[in-house]
């Protein structure tokens, strides 16, 4: 234990902070903590490059707490986080490390909660503010001097803040802070936009970098499965039949997809829930707590909604939709395999996404093995095993507790014990297929390897080229186009199935942004790489201009008149 204590003691943290660290059971500082803590303690501005899961929260929380003056009842440190979940997680970490510092108060400031109590806590002298940019700007509009005493600023996951569109809010916050302050910026990547912030707002920053991409996934068994885009739900359900998981998080791209997949899982008897940006904060917290304590086993989430989610029960991560970049993939699967635990990550890949799979393998330095979808025999074996495991504990004293009832029922019904047991099994399994023939008839298998039937090669579509076959292999554009109704024009967008788009997404966006009534919109056809929408000819150009900046599933709609010649 002496060596363990010495690891953190050598970093010259405040004695009370060191005591709290030891009480948490930390053994040795991580690489990012070893490099960052001395720099921050010395008062330097700093740029830290490190992935999620490397211990970076403690890397800035411990030295900042060591520099806080508990006697001063005023905001002294501001930590900005991209999401409510991460803000709550960081605030909780600060509270843990400050347990042995009487008088130090931490407040989490985020949207979806009343502003009054937050502002009151700040005015009452909370020394540590952990905030999301949008809500903090709301407070600044009410009281422009709310940050006037802050002397330490941390931007946590700065690249994510910019991805979420917080650049303007950050500039407002910078203006509300004292010019004389320490600024620390943490980011997994350093794109030009982050470098610009650093050049403008940091003073001679020290640069700390920890390479952890491969290390992040070494404890995780990874596998991928080739599927059709429209067969993902059935593939997920079949995979879950044979995967032995404790808790699982499934990642999809869109808010609607979280609801659709969660509903499909619930219909099959799984304890599942959706987690997306539209869900109220108190409900989101209930979902996470339910996953922690076992009331839920599966959460279907978008990337943003899952930020800061760390639940020890998670044994599996399933990427139902391909992430947009390799870094997102590493962040996603990092939800399992933490703190020395093992985990399993499954990735569904459509043929058009195989190139991204190759990029992921190159970035992580690991091969993502291909697996086959379980066949009917494997599904049957898994179902019988689950049934066996459920019934085995009940058999031990069943004759003692229910033997007399069994004798009475067989006598009253006039059947053998075997017949009664079979009837009770039928009732208990609720019609589930439990013979090989029944399972084979239950649902068609997704093709196991190679390009699913009907998929074209991965060559890019040329401008104006139309797909000749649908994803189901059925002729599509060879047939004559559906005639347009009088007064309608057909418009095209480059968004399609591969972007996670459904007809209802396009309909909702056009109704909300275009100011149309439902009857004004005609047929909506969603293809793999584009979609067609019928809109009123009268005033079409004005409508397309109005819809110019509309975004669906995070991408620009960019509707154009479709020429069929």
Per-residue pLDDT of the chain in tens (565 residues, 90 and over written 9): 233 345 787 888 888 898 888 776 566 787 888 999 999 999 999 999 876 556 788 899 999 999 999 999 999 999 999 888 788 888 988 998 998 888 899 999 988 788 888 888 888 889 999 999 989 998 998 888 889 999 999 999 888 888 778 888 999 999 999 999 999 999 888 888 888 899 999 999 999 988 654 444 667 889 999 988 888 888 898 888 888 888 999 999 888 889 999 998 998 889 999 988 778 878 888 898 999 888 999 999 987 777 667 788 899 999 999 886 676 788 788 888 765 667 899 999 988 788 788 878 877 778 898 988 887 787 778 777 877 877 888 888 888 888 889 888 999 899 998 888 888 888 877 767 777 777 776 654 444 434 343 333 333 333 333 333 333 333 333 334 456 777 888 999 988 887 778 888 888 788 877 777 777 888 888 888 889 999 988 888 888 988 887 888 767 888 988 876 5
Determine the Cα–Cα distance for residues 472 and 74; give it in Å rounded to an integer.
63
What burial class does residue 208 get, using C-beta atoms within 10 Å of its C-beta: 0-12 exposed, 13-18 middle, 19+ buried?
A: buried
Determine the Cα–Cα distance for residues 138 and 146; give it in Å rounded to an integer.
11
pTM to 2 decimal places: 0.46
Name the nearest CA neighbour of 351 among 251, 451, 243, 429. Answer: 451
Domains of the chain, each with CATH number or no CATH? 2-211 (3.40.50.300), 214-376 (3.40.50.300), 488-561 (3.30.70.330)
Query: Could you tell me the CA-to-CA distances from 314 to 231, 317, 414 in Å, in that order?
Result: 25, 8, 49
Determine the Cα–Cα distance for residues 348 and 320; give it in Å rounded to an integer.
5
Sequence-ordered alpha helix ranges (H) in 294-428: 326-333, 354-364, 376-395, 398-413, 417-428
Determine the Cα–Cα distance for residues 334 and 55; give it in Å rounded to an integer.
13
Determine the Cα–Cα distance for residues 241 and 383; give it in Å rounded to an integer.
7
């Amino acid at each position: 234990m002496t060596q363990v204590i010495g690891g953190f003691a050598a970093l010259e943290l405040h004695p009370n902070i060191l005591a709290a660290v030891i009480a948490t059971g930390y053994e040795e500082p991580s690489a990012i903590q070893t490099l960052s803590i001395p720099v921050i303690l010395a008062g330097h501005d700093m740029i830290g490059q490190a992935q999620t899961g490397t211990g970076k929260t403690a890397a800035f929380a411990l030295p900042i707490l060591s520099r806080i003056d508990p006697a001063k009842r005023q905001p002294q440190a501001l930590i900005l986080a991209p999401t409510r979940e991460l803000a709550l997680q960081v605030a909780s970490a600060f509270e843990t490390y400050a347990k042995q510092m009487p008088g130090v108060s931490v407040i989490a400031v985020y949207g979806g909660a009343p502003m009054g109590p937050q502002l009151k806590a700040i005015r009452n002298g909370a020394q540590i503010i952990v905030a999301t940019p949008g809500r903090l700007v709301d407070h600044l509009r009410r009281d422009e001097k709310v940050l006037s005493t802050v002397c330490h600023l941390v931007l946590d996951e700065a690249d994510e803040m910019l991805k979420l569109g917080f650049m303007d809010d950050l500039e407002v916050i910078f203006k509300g802070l004292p010019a004389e302050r320490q600024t620390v910026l943490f980011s997994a990547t350093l794109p030009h936009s982050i470098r610009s912030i650093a050049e403008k707002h940091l003073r001679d920053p020290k640069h700390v970098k920890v390479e952890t991409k491969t290390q992040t996934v070494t404890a995780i068994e990874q596998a991928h499965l080739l599927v059709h885009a429209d067969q993902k739900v059935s593939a997920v359900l079949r995979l879950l039949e044979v995967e032995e998981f404790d808790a699982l998080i499934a990642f999809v791209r869109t808010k609607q997809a979280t609801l659709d997949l969660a509903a499909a899982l619930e219909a099959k008897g799984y304890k599942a829930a959706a987690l997306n940006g539209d869900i109220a904060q108190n409900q989101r917290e209930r979902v996470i707590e339910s996953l922690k304590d076992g009331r839920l086993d599966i959460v279907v989430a978008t990337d943003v909604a899952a930020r800061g989610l760390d639940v020890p029960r998670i044994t599996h991560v399933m990427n139902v939709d391909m992430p947009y970049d390799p870094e997102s993939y590493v962040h996603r699967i990092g939800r399992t395999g933490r703190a020395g635990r093992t985990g399993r990550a499954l990735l569904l890949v459509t043929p058009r996404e195989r190139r991204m799979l190759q990029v992921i393998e190159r970035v992580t330095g690991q091969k993502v093995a291909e697996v086959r979808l379980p066949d009917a025999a494997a599904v049957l074996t898994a179902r019988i095993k689950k049934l066996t495991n459920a019934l085995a504990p009940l058999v031990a004293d069943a004759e003692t507790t229910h033997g007399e009832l069994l004798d009475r029922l067989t006598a009253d019904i006039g059947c053998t014990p075997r017949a009664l047991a079979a009837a009770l099994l039928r009732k208990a399994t609720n019609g589930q297929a439990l013979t090989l023939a029944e399972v084979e008839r239950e649902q068609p298998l997704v093709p196991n390897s190679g390009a699913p039937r009907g998929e074209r090669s991965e060559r890019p579509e040329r401008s104006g080229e139309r797909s000749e076959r649908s994803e189901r292999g059925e002729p599509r554009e060879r047939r004559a186009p559906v005639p347009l109704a009088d007064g309608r024009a057909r418009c095209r967008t480059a968004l399609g199935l591969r972007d996670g788009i459904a007809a209802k997404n396009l309909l909702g966006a056009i109704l909300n942004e275009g100011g149309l009534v439902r009857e004004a919109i005609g047929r909506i056809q969603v293809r793999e790489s584009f979609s067609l929408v019928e809109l009123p000819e009268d005033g079409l150009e004005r409508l397309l201009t109005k819809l110019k900046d509309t975004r669906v599933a995070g991408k620009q709609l960019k509707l154009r008149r479709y020429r069929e010649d």
